[in-house]
Structure 1
Amino acid sequence: MNRSDVDKNTTEFAKCTELVQEKAGRGEYKYNFSDLIAASVALPLHLLVSVPLLLFLNNLQEFYSTSGTMLLYLAGIAAAAAVLLFFILYFSGSRIKNFLIPVLAFILLSTWVQSQLLSWHYGSFDGSPLEIHLRDGRAFDGLIWLSLAALCFGIARKKPGLFKNVFLVFLFFTAGNLVFSVAQPRERIAGTGTSESITLSWRNAFSYSSRSNIILLILDAFQSDYFNEYLEKNPDYAKKLPGFTYYPDALATDYYTHRSLPAIMSGQHYNNEGSYTAYLQNAYKTFSVPAKLHDAGYSVGIYNYFTLAQSMYRPEFLKSFADNYKSDGEDFTPYYGKEVRQLLWTSLFQAVPHLCKDAVYSNFIMDVPANLDRDIFRKDLKSQRRVAFSEPRFLVYHLQGLHDPQYLDGKKVPDTRENVSRIAEILAELIEDMTGSLQRLGIYDRTALMIVGDHGLQWTNSNIHYGNYSAGNKPAEPPLGSFAKKVRAIPLVLFKPMGQSGGFQVSDRPVSLLDIAPTLLESAGLETAGSYGGESLLQPGSRPRIRHFYTSEYTNRGKGALYEYAVSGFSWYDSSWTFTGNSYTGKGVKRVLLDNCLPWKLYSCGMAGTGRQFFDEGWAPDGEREHVLVESVGTITLPLADPAKNYRLQLYFSNTQTETEVIVRIAGQEQGKYSLRPDCSIDLEVPGSLLTTVPNQPEASPVPAKAHLAPVPVPSAYRMSVSLCKTEAVSVKLSSLELTAL
Structure 2
Amino acid sequence: MKKRDKKQLLPGIVLSVAVGFLVFLYAPIDLYCSNADEFWFDFGILFTAALGLFAVCVAVMSLAYIVLWLIHPVAYRIGLAGGFIALICTYVQGNFMVKNLPPLDGSAINWDNYTALRTQGIILWTVVAVITAAMCILLKKELFTKTVMYLSTCLTLMLLMTAVSVTLTSGVLQEKAHYQIGADKEFVMSDDQNFVILLLDTVDARTFSKLLEDHPEYNKDFQDFTYFENTVGAYSCTKRSIPFILSGDWYENDEPFDDYMRNMYEVSPLFNALQEKGYNMELCDTELYMNDDIAKMFSNVYRVDFKLSSYTKFAKPLLKLIGFRYAPFELKKKCIFKPAAFDELVRVENTGENYSFTTSDYQFKGHLDTVGITTENSNPKFKFFHLDGAHVPFIYDKDMNIIDEHEGTYELSMEAVMLEAADYVEQLRKSGAYDNTVLIIMADHGYNGSLEESGDEAWMRQCPLLMIKGRSESHDTMQISQAPVSFADLQEAYLRLLDGQPSEAAFDWKEGDVRDRRFLKYSFLDEDHITEYLQTGHAFNRDTMVLTGREFNR
Shared fold per TM-score greater than 0.5:
yes
- Are the counterparts in 2 of residues 38 and 164 from structure 1 also a CA contact under 8 Å? yes
Per the alignment, residue 394 of structure 2 pairs with 406
- With the length of structure 2 as denominator, give the TM-score of the two structures: 0.75
Tell me what 1:548 maps to. Answer: 517
Alignment CA distance shift 1:373-1:249 (3 Å): same
User: Which residue does the alignment assign to 1:173?
Assistant: 158
Structure 2 CA distance for partners of 1:152 and 1:526, relative to 1, 3 Å:
farther
Cα deviation 1:100-148 (Å, max 9, x = unaligned): 7766554433221222333434465446898963432772232322444
1:563 aligns with 2:535: no
Spell out the pairing of 1:456-535 with structure 2 (5 A cutoff): 456-458=446-448, 488-508=461-481, 509-525=483-499
Please report the RMSD computed on the Cα atoms of aligned residues, expressed in angstroms.
4.6
Aligned identity (percent) is: 18
- Say if 2:189 is the partner of 1:209: yes
Kept in 2: contact 1:200–1:325 (CA 8 A): yes
For 1:491, what is the secondary structure of its paired residue? Answer: coil
1:347 and 2:322 aligned = yes
Does the C-alpha gap of structure 1 residues 412 and 319 become closer, same or farther in structure 2, counting only changes over 3 Å?
same
> Greater helix share, 1 or 2?
2
Q: 1:318 to 1:444 in 2, by over 3 A?
A: same
Distance in 2 (CA, whole Å) between partners of 1:301 and 1:341 is: 36
1:114-513 map, 5 Å: 114-122=93-101, 125-126=104-105, 133-136=113-116, 139-148=119-128, 158=141, 162=146, 165=150, 167-184=152-169, 195=175, 197-204=177-184, 206-211=186-191, 212-271=193-252, 278-287=259-268, 289-290=270-271, 293-294=274-275, 296-304=277-285, 312-316=287-291, 319=295, 321-329=297-305, 345-361=320-336, 363=337, 373-385=360-372, 387=374, 390-408=378-396, 410-413=403-406, 419-458=409-448, 488-508=461-481, 509-513=483-487
What SS does structure 2 have at the residue aligned with 1:424? helix
Identify which of structures 1 and 2 has the higher relative contact order when contacts are C-alpha pairs closer than 8 Å and 6+ apart: 2
Counterpart for residue 45 of structure 1: 21
For 2:22 and 2:277, the matched residues in 1 are separated by 50
Other-structure match for 1:466: none
Letter in 2 for 1:567: T
Amino acid at match of 1:141: G
2: CA distance between counterparts of 1:105 and 1:138?
Answer: 21
TM-superposed deviation, 1:151: 6.4
Instruction: Give 2:51's aligned residue.
Output: 79
Residues 155 and 582 (structure 1), Cα distance of their counterparts in 2 relative to 1, 3 Å cut: closer
What is the DSSP-based 3-state SS (H/G/I as helix, E as strand, rest coil) of the residue aligned with 2:224? coil
Q: 1:450 deviation in Å?
A: 0.8
**Is the 1:110–1:145 Cα contact (8 Å) retained in structure 2?**
yes
| Residues 483 and 552 in structure 1, CA contact (< 8 A), matched pair in contact too | no
Structure 2 partner of 1:629: none
> What residue identity is the alignment partner of 1:491?
P
1:290–1:322 Cα contact (<8 Å) kept: no
- 3-state secondary structure, aligned to 2:509: coil
CA 38–484 in structure 1, closer or farther in 2 if over 3 Å, else same: closer
C-alpha distance 104-587 of structure 1, shift in aligned 2 (>3 A): closer
TM-score (norm 1): 0.58
Counterpart AA for 1:393? K
- CA radius of gyration, larger in: 1
Q: Distance in 1 between matches of 2:28 and 2:391?
A: 27
Contact 2:530 2:553 in 1 (8 A): no
Residue 261 of structure 1 deviates from its aligned partner by 2.5
1:357/1:197 CA distance change after superposition, 3 Å:
same
Distance in 2 of aligned mates of 1:263 and 1:52:
32
Aligned to 2:540: 572
Measured in 1, the distance between the counterparts of 2:102 and 2:520 equals 16
Distance 2:361 2:276 in 1: 31
Inter-partner Cα distance in structure 2 for 1:37 and 1:585: 49
Structure 1: gaps spanning 5 or more residues: 1-14, 22-28, 305-309, 464-480, 528-534, 589-742
Q: Structure 1: which amino acid aligns with 2:478?
A: Q
User: What is the Cα deviation at residue 246 of structure 1?
Assistant: 1.6
Q: Measured at CA, do residues 41 and 365 of structure 1 come closer, stay the same or move farther in structure 2, by a change above 3 Å? A: farther
Instruction: Note the C-alpha offset of 1:585.
Output: 3.2
- State the AA in 2 paired with 1:571: A
Match in the other structure for 1:637: none
Change (3 A) 1:165 1:206: same
